[in-house]
Amino acid sequence: MKQTHYFSVNVLAKRPEIKIEWIMETLESPDARTVQPDGRLRFWRRIPAFENRALRVVTLADGETIHNAFFDRDYKGD
């Protein structure tokens, strides 16, 4: 799993409730996907094991290098 320094230092430490397996599932089989203006990709997936909340994973433009992950309160997809 490729990741940015920001992800490995900040995100994993501040959000220990997010499991790596959920991140990988989100990238492999997202419920939705968009491209940000800066070229980064956003992936969303509902996580049934976490109250069906939507996990957003942001990657660099390559679609593989993970930059951020968090539960997105504003996600309306469904």
| Residue 43 and residue 27 in contact, taking contact as beta carbons nearer than 8 Å | yes
pLDDT greater than 90 at residue 1: no
Structure confidence at residue 77 as a pLDDT band (50, 70, 90): confident
Mean pLDDT of the chain, nearest integer:
96
pLDDT greater than 80 at residue 37: yes
Q: What is the mean pLDDT of residues 14-41?
A: 97
66-71 sheet: strands from edge to edge: 32-35, 41-47, 53-59, 66-71
Name the pTM for this structure: 0.94
The reported pLDDT for the residue numbered 76 is 87
Structure confidence at residue 32 as a pLDDT band (50, 70, 90): very high
